[in-house]
Each structure stands twice: as C-alpha cells, then as structure tokens.
C-alpha cells in the first residue's frame, strides 16, 4: 500500500509540474497567436474588408487554444493537488479538445499554405488593376520591400525591386510555418499531460480500492 501511495505522490507532483509548464505553454501559444494577429506588417497587408481571411482563421484557433490552455492548466494543478478523479477526468477531456484544436491549426496551416499564399497573391494582383487600389499596393510595397509583378508591372517600379508575388510567398511561408510548428509542437506536449492525468486517476482509484 505504501508503494502505491508513494507512486501516486510521485505522479501527482509530476502532473503538477507538468501543468505549470502547460500553463506557461498556453501563455506562449496565446502570445504567438496575438503577435500573428496584430503584427503590424500582417495587419497592414490584410486590413481591407475584401482581403483574404483564411490566414487569420488558423491564428484565431491558436489564440483560442492558448487562452483555454491557461485556464485548463490552472484547474489541472488544482485537480492534481486535491487528487480529484472528477477534476482529472475533466482535465483529460479538455486536453483532448485542445489537442484537436492545436492539431487542426497545424494541419490547416500546412495543408492550406499554398491556397492562402495564392489568395494573397491574387488579392495583390487585383489591387494593381483597381483604380482605388493604391493604398493596398503601397502597403505591400512598404512591408515586403517589393514592387509589381512580372505579369502586372508598375511604371514607378525600378529594375532592382523584388517581385511582389515571390515576396508574398516568402513572407506568408514564414508565418504559416510558425502556426504549424507551434500547433503540432504543443499538441505533443498535451499527449504527455493526458498520459499523466490518466495514470494519476488510475492510481487514485487503486489506492481507494485497497483502502
């Protein structure tokens, strides 16, 4: 019996430490999501009403998941300290939901990467042909340090300017890879949390059966 209690205490403290790290990870995910959403460069490119929205869908998933992770991490610590099967079971269920959201954000970022980039490129090219598209194109030129495209050259562009189609691809590739790697990386951490919570639940149940 003493061995069971000793094992249970060990798992309890491990789960408590994990939940603290998990809470910090949630803060990181939330911070990355908010940075991607309110990054001045990104918002200046996609601030118009008719701008593509797919990029921000994955960002919103990250923001939501990060906020929930912070809340769940706090209650996970509480459940571990109280040795409550109900709280630990709820913690496991919440982790499972967040795990799905994180994987969805990562997979969405990777699978739709080319489509999102193409939509932004089309958005820029259509703006170059619009009479009132100067504000949009100026934002792209300023942020990406580019000017015009091979198919839609602009008279004011100089020969040394970078092609905006390529500049858009480079810029959003970097952002989408951040979304994908953060989502999939944190999902891996949550698998460990689910294992710890189930082990502690089983240890609590076994100790009470022995008693």
pLDDT by residue (tens digit) across 163-208? Answer: 888 889 988 888 877 777 777 777 777 777 777 777 767 766 666 5
pLDDT by residue (tens digit) across 33-60? Answer: 888 888 888 888 877 767 777 778 778 8
Q: What is the pTM of this model?
A: 0.69
Has residue 120 got a pLDDT over 80? yes
pLDDT classification of 63: cutoffs 50, 70, 90: confident
Reading the block at residue 92, the tokens are: 């496991």
Has residue 3 got a pLDDT over 60? no
Taking the C-alpha atoms of residue 43 and residue 46, their distance in angstroms, rounded to an integer, is 5
Spatial contact of 72 and 97, defined as CB atoms under 8 Å apart: no
Has residue 122 got a pLDDT over 80? yes
> Where are the chain's structural domains?
2-210
- Tell me the range of 103-117, 118-132, 146-160 where mean pLDDT is highest: 118-132
Look at residue 211 in the predicted model and tell me its pLDDT: 47
CA distances from 4 to 17, 85, 202 (A): 20, 16, 11
Look at residue 33 in the predicted model and tell me its pLDDT: 85
Helix (H) or strand (E) holding 120: helix 113-128
Taking the C-alpha atoms of residue 176 and residue 112, their distance in angstroms, rounded to an integer, is 9
């Amino acid at each position: 019996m003493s061995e069971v209690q000793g094992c249970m205490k060990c798992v309890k403290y491990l789960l408590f430490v994990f939940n603290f790290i998990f809470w910090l990870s949630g803060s990181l995910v939330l911070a990355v999501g908010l940075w991607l959403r309110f990054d001045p460069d990104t918002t200046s490119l996609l601030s118009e009403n008719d701008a593509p929205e797919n990029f921000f869908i994955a960002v919103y998933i990250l923001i939501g998941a990060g906020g929930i992770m912070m809340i769940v991490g706090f209650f996970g610590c509480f459940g571990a300290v109280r040795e409550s099967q109900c709280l630990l079971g709820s913690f496991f269920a919440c982790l499972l939901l967040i795990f799905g959201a994180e994987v969805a954000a990562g997979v969405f970022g990777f699978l739709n990467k080319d489509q999102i980039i193409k939509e932004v490129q089309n958005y820029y090219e259509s703006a170059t042909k619009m009479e009132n598209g100067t504000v949009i194109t100026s934002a792209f030129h300023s942020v990406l340090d580019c000017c015009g495209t091979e198919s839609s050259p602009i008279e004011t562009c100089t020969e040394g300017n970078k092609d905006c189609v390529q500049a858009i691809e480079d810029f959003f590739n970097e952002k989408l890879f951040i979304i994908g790697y953060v989502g999939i990386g944190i999902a891996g951490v949550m698998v460990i949390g689910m294992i710890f919570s189930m082990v502690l639940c089983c240890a609590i149940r076994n100790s009470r059966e022995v008693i």
